[in-house]
Amino acid sequence: MAQAGRHFLQIPGPTNVPDRVLRAMDHPTMDHRGPRFAELGQRVLKGMAGIFKTSGRVVIFPSSGTGAWEAALVNTLSPGDRVLMAETGHFATLWRELAERLGYLPEFIPGDWRRGADPDAVEDRLRVDSAGAIKAVCVVHNETSTGSTSRIDEIRRALDAAGHPALLMVDTISSLGSIDYRHDDWGVDVTVAGSQKGLMLPPGLSFNAVSDKAMEASRSAQTARSYWDWQAMSGPNETGFFPYTPATNLLYGLAEAIDMLNEAGLENVFARHDRHGAATRAAVEAWGLEVLCQEPRHYSSVLTAVLMPQGHDADAFRRVVLER
């Protein structure tokens, strides 16, 4: 079937890229060792700190979000280290598999994929790890596969209550810039993010926000690393440069996207998503359908998963969406 008009992505991400961002990206590539680049580099590093709500360090990689998952682990852990992860859905599972491939020992707190991470289960597990074998706790903030958003503030309190020294790592790939998130206030050690969702960019950039504690851990971590190495980034980043060629044109788009978020006001953007999420759930309820997420406190503002009713075929439904 021939299709006329403008195509809109009907998927959880990559999201629609605003024209302002596309236009910003299609300028000629500049010298990444020259003075104009230094301004751009400082602008996006500082701007991203604002989005993460951190006064600490931000690292930007020319990679997809998966790379920032990997960077969080290889900079802070040594081969064989134990990692506690919360099974919130498909992306939590992918992160666990990645940890295994890299030689770590992930342990899953099982979940039913219908709610966010359980802070009590985290606390219970950490309390019995009196030897401190667990080096990191990893949680996906917003699970794209389920529409559940974990309460990171509560996970932080779970670590504190258990008095456990593990690093707290949070994947915000599908929440940063869309749902309230506070790297510093919530005591997160490594936040993982990507360009293609709330930041309104095409895929190709990923991010770590890094606490002093995590940076300290990276000094003794024994995993061999080069591309993802935070230390190598530190020096050049101070003046707005990068140790190897950055994805310059995506950084043009990033600068524009940060401006757009700040012009709108982050809190206003969050409120808009909250309103849209509530509207979507109201529609689902009115249609007599069931939202996948069963815990109202974990409803995602940016994504609502709906159960396909008995007797209907999800593949057939998706085919109609795609064709029409």
CA proximity to 147, closest of 310, 295, 323: 295
Binding residue for a copy of itself, selected from 145, 175, 248, 304, defined by CB under 8 A? 248
Tell me the number of residues near a copy of itself by CB under 8 A.
64
Binding residue for a copy of itself, selected from 92, 167, 269, 305, defined by CB under 8 A? 269
In the bound complex, what is the minimum distance in angstroms from residue 323's beta carbon to a copy of itself?
A: 10
Say if CB 119 and CB 157 are below 8 A apart.
yes
Question: Does residue 296 touch a copy of itself according to CB under 8 A?
Answer: no
Bridge partners for 137 per DSSP: 84, 168
Binding mask 133-162 for a copy of itself (x = CB under 8 A): ------------------------------
Question: Does residue 67 touch a copy of itself according to CB under 8 A?
Answer: yes
Measure the CA–CA gap between 230 and 74, rounded to whole angstroms: 10
Binding residue for a copy of itself, selected from 64, 78, 93, 234, defined by CB under 8 A? 64
Say if CB 52 and CB 209 are below 8 A apart.
yes
> Cα torsion for 250, 251, 254, 259, to the nearest 10°?
-140
Which residues touch 44 (CB under 8 Å, ≥6 apart)?
A: 60, 251, 254, 255, 258
Neighbours of 265 (CB within 10 A): 11
Bridge partners for 107 per DSSP: 84
Question: Does residue 317 touch a copy of itself according to CB under 8 A?
Answer: no
Question: Does residue 203 touch a copy of itself according to CB under 8 A?
Answer: yes
Question: Does residue 28 touch a copy of itself according to CB under 8 A?
Answer: yes
Binding residue for a copy of itself, selected from 108, 244, 287, 317, defined by CB under 8 A? 244
In the bound complex, what is the minimum distance in angstroms from residue 151's beta carbon to a copy of itself?
A: 26
Question: Does residue 62 touch a copy of itself according to CB under 8 A?
Answer: yes
- C-alpha angle with apex 89: 152 to 58, nearest 5 degrees? 45
Measure the CA–CA gap between 222 and 220, rounded to whole angstroms: 6
Binding residue for a copy of itself, selected from 44, 52, 70, 76, defined by CB under 8 A? 70
β-pairing verdict for 190-194 and 206-210: antiparallel
Question: Does residue 65 touch a copy of itself according to CB under 8 A?
Answer: yes
Question: Does residue 304 touch a copy of itself according to CB under 8 A?
Answer: no
Question: Does residue 93 touch a copy of itself according to CB under 8 A?
Answer: no
Question: Does residue 55 touch a copy of itself according to CB under 8 A?
Answer: no
Question: Does residue 41 touch a copy of itself according to CB under 8 A?
Answer: no
**H or E stretch at 107:** strand 105-109
Tokens standing for residue 76: 């802070």
Please say which residue, 244 or 287, places its beta carbon nearer to a copy of itself.
Answer: 244
CA proximity to 190, closest of 138, 135, 246: 138
Question: Does residue 320 touch a copy of itself according to CB under 8 A?
Answer: no
Question: Does residue 194 touch a copy of itself according to CB under 8 A?
Answer: yes
Say if CB 254 and CB 40 are below 8 A apart.
no
Please say which residue, 101 or 312, places its beta carbon nearer to a copy of itself.
Answer: 101
Say if CB 292 and CB 309 are below 8 A apart.
no
- Where along the sequence are the contacts to a copy of itself (CB under 8 A)? 2, 4-7, 9-11, 14-19, 22-23, 25-35, 61-67, 70, 79, 98, 101-103, 194, 196, 202-204, 223-227, 229, 244-250, 264-265, 268-269, 272, 322
